[in-house]
Structure formats: structure tokens, C-alpha cells
Chains A and B, each alone.
Chain A
Amino acid sequence: MAAIQELSPDSGRGETRPPEGEIEGDDEDEELDETLLERLWGLTEMFPESLQSAAEVSAQCSLSVAKKLYRCGAGSCILRLKPDCHINSRNNLDISVYIFRIMLSCSFSRSALWVGTTSFMILVLPVVFETERLQLEQQQLQQQRQILLGPNAGMSGGMPGMMPPAPGKL
């Protein structure tokens, strides 16, 4: 009985139906459990693979730069990368090189900021204070002269007020 015989292997095959059908069936059950974020994340899968990995790498790197811009621990930068991120193995070396550069650059930027601020404080600040003070004093003197001698004598060395115009022909 071929038909009857056929049934038994068919039932086996029936268990291994094409996976899409099975997953679709599962999906229909799980769709309701997906959160909004998971749905948005699913949207990114429409972009090409290279763009996805590039975006992933740049996001991780900018996040680590922002975190490490103040703190700087040797070796901790690499360890703090999210362990569950899927990084392409060919990008691993690039990332570690980039992170080493960030480590060097953030301690460099800190010490550069310190050196710049203290040098500015020593070399430039006293002169700025003194010249500002001189300007204020001169302004004050000018104002005093104005008050004392009339509004037309605001200029340095101004004449003490203008004489009233001579009476014209009556």
C-alpha cells in the first residue's frame, strides 16, 4: 500500500515543514510580545549589511569617547564595550586602535587644557587686569571732568564750557 506507506514518511516530513511556515506561525504568536524598540530595531534590518556595521561602529565609538572624555583608565576602555554587541571581527582591530588613540588624546587634552589655563593665568591675566583698571580709572576721570566742567568738556583738555553766543543785532 504505497499510499499508506507514503503517509508514514509524510508525517515525518510533516514535522519538518519548511521553517518559514513554522516561524511565521511562531511570529504570529510572538508579535504581540515585541516592544516598540524591538520593532524599530527590526526596521534597521532593511539597510545593507555594511551600512549597519558602520553605523554600529561609529555609534559605539562616539559613545565611548563621550564616556571617556573625562575618565581615562588604561585598558578599561576596551573592556567597557558592550559585550553583547555583534562586532564584525574585521572591525575589531580598527576599534581597538581607535580607542587607544582616544585614550592618548583624552589625557593629552586634559593636560593641554591645564597647561594652557595656567600659562594664560601667569602670562596674560595680570596685564589684562591692569589695563582694564587703567581704562576704568580714565573713564571715571573723564566722567568727573564732565560733571565738573559741563557736558562740552568731556574731552581731555577741553575748554571750560562754551561762551554764550554774542547778542546779534537787535
Chain B
Amino acid sequence: MGSVLAASFPNPPPASGGGSAPGGAGLVTVPPGFTMPPVSAVPPSSGTQGQPGTDAESSLHNPGTFEECHRKCKEVFPVQMEGVRLVVNKGLSNHFQVSHTITLSTLGDSGYRFGATYVGSKQTGPAESFPVMVGDMDNTGSLNAQIIHQLASRIRSKVAMQTQQHKFVNWQCDAEYRGDDFTAAVTIGNPDVLAGSGILVAHYLQSLSPALVLGGELVYHRRPGEEGTVTSFVGRYTGSNYVATLTVGGAGAHASYYHKANDQLQIGVEFEASTRMQDTSVSFGYQLDVPKANLLFKGSLDSNWVVGATLEKKLVPLPLSLALGAFLNHRKNKFQCGFGITIG
């Protein structure tokens, strides 16, 4: 069931998308009124390997997608939890999986969410099959849906949409081409032919050496009476046990460093500077993995005086997993904690 789990949403997208929710991929700056749905990308296959040969270029691997450049570092950081969450996952067959989520929250709304994942039978790799259809519906009727399909041997496409109750908030379509040592992707977000508005995002990533990857992103947004372009460049260097990434663009700079100290400890350091908010922040995070104790602990420390941690423990004889999280903001003296249980 590896492919089914891999394709499901890592966190359910927030139901209250609204017009001011920050966008999803990379450093896309979208002006207010536009939102990019926070959809997750399908994890990459091991990459289309070039033919073995004496040519230096053929030893280059596919660099992956643009969104994944900062992902390794981001995964080390804990996620803020609030309230109580109960998740029941049930696999009905090799292709189909269903999940029920009950969220009880002190700050927001409590609700029930039903999710379903279908994985097709066209197998492209050991962990991937296509098409993948992921859908999620809330008790208020808000729907999130994604369809990912491999159209040809190197072309993959995704269609995603998000509604809030009955109103469509986000709809986007993207196509990605994976070459031997490069990846190109085009995304169209919220196209509205009648109003003449929409967002167009183009990504290109090229691996120049086995360790170095460079790329760029171009965002073109258009509304009646207004249009603009934002560009940014990304560079990623992979060492023996570390990955350093830098994104510089019109929206600011974002640098991240991921280091794998040993089997149990992984460390991430992130630096973000935003021109729109005119502020910078540095975060330090670590992940401690103790499989003998069935424990996964993530902690983070921020320059905004925010300290947070998440602890996940598998309660072994039963297929239960307990997650506890706590976040403390020293400057504002605010504390938030939550826990969740996952069954199955």
C-alpha cells in the first residue's frame, strides 16, 4: 500500500482557504485575492536514470521537482498541533483506501472529514502507480480533490480543485516533463476566461553536476486591470550527508540547510527573508528517530522566540500511533498544545 499512502495529503488542507491564505509551492508570491491550493506533489520516482556511458552528462540524475528543493529541511520541523484529532485509516483493497478524521478544536471549528484515495494499476515504479485520485470532504461540504496521472513515459499531469461549501475556491492544472537531467513544469491556477484572470507558473530545474542543481521559477498573474510577474532562482547543493538550498527572488530569500548527523538525528536550519513582510527569521529544527522505542521526536527553535516540539509514538501491540505537540511563544506568552491518535 506504499503508493496509496504516499499519494495522500500529508495534512488535510485547511478548510478555511479564503482569499488571504498563503500560497502553496515554493516562494510563489501571489497578490491578495489569489490563492494557490496547498496540494502536495507526488513523491518522485528514483528518477529516470541516463544510460550508463562514459559521457559525464549521463551520470546526472533527474533533479526532482521544484517544490521538493526545500522539502527535506522542512520535514525536520514539527507541525503546530491544536486540539484533539482522531484519524482512522482503513485500506479496503490494494487500490483503495479510506480515512475518517474527527477534529475537536478550541480555536477553530470542530468537524468530521472523510477522505478517499484510489490508486490505479498502471505501475511505473516500485512505489508508484497511476492514476492517483485523492479526495476529501468536510462535514460542511467543502471538497478537496486531486487527480494525478502519467500521460506518457515522461509527462505527468495533475488536476486539483478545492471548494468551500459549494463555492469553488481553487482550481489548477499542471503538467510536468522529466528529462534525463532536467525537469520542466507548467501550472495554470484559477484560470477564468470570462473575467480574464489567472496565474501561470513555470518551473525549470537543471542538474549541472551530481551534486549541483540550478533552476528558476516564473510566476505571471493577471487580473482585470492588473498584471505582474515574479521570478526567482533556486540552487541546491547535495553533499555526502547534507543538502543546502537557496532560493532568491523578487519575494525575498529563503535558505535552508539539512544535515543528517547519524541514523537517529537529523538537523535543519532555515533562514527566511521576505520583502513583503519586511522581516527575517531563522529557525533551527531537529528530528530524533529512535525506532527501538518507536519514537519520533521533532523540536524547533525560532528567532521569533517560538519553541515547539512534537512527539509521535507507536503503541506497538495495537496499530495505534499517538502524537503530542506543544508550541510556546515566549514573546507573546502564548501556548498551544494538542494531541492526536491515528488508528490504522
Q: Are B328 and A122 in contact (CB under 8 A)?
A: yes
Place the interface of chain A in its size category.
10 to 19
Q: How many Å from the CB of B118 to the closest CB on chain A?
A: 37
**Complex-state Cα separation, A2 to B119, whole angstroms:** 138
Q: Are B293 and A131 in contact (CB under 8 A)?
A: yes
**Complex-state Cα separation, A16 to B292, whole angstroms:** 98
Interface string of A114-127 (1 = CB under 8 A from B): 01001100110011
Q: Taking the complex as formed, is B258 at the interface, i.e. its CB lies under 8 A from any CB of chain A?
A: no
Given A115-B330, A134-B290, residue A127 in contact with residue B297 (CB < 8 A): yes
Interface string of A95-123 (1 = CB under 8 A from B): 00000000000000000000100110011
Chain B residues positioned under 8 Å from A118 (CB to CB): 307, 328, 330
Chain A residues positioned under 8 Å from B299 (CB to CB): 122-123
How many B residues touch A, CB cutoff 8 Å? 18
Q: Please classify the interface of chain A as helix (H, G, I), strand (E, B), loop, or mixed, using the class held by over half of its residues.
A: helix
Q: Taking the complex as formed, is A133 at the interface, i.e. its CB lies under 8 A from any CB of chain B?
A: yes
Chain A residues positioned under 8 Å from B293 (CB to CB): 130-131, 133-134
Which of B290, B292, B309, B313 sits near A123, CB closer than 8 Å?
A: B309
Q: How many Å from the CB of A113 to the closest CB on chain B?
A: 12
Chain B residues positioned under 8 Å from A130 (CB to CB): 290, 293, 295, 297, 311, 313
Interface string of B81-98 (1 = CB under 8 A from A): 000000000000000000
Chain B residues positioned under 8 Å from A131 (CB to CB): 290, 293
Q: Are B297 and A119 in contact (CB under 8 A)?
A: no
Q: Are B290 and A119 in contact (CB under 8 A)?
A: no
Query: Which single residue of chain A is at the shortest CB-CB distance from B286?
Result: A123
**Complex-state Cα separation, A99 to B290, whole angstroms:** 50
Provide 27 A-B residue pairs closer than 8 Å at the C-beta atoms, listed in order of the A residue.
A115-B305, A118-B307, A118-B328, A118-B330, A119-B301, A119-B307, A119-B328, A119-B330, A122-B299, A122-B307, A122-B308, A122-B309, A122-B326, A122-B328, A126-B297, A126-B309, A126-B311, A126-B324, A127-B288, A127-B297, A130-B290, A130-B293, A130-B297, A130-B311, A130-B313, A134-B290, A134-B293
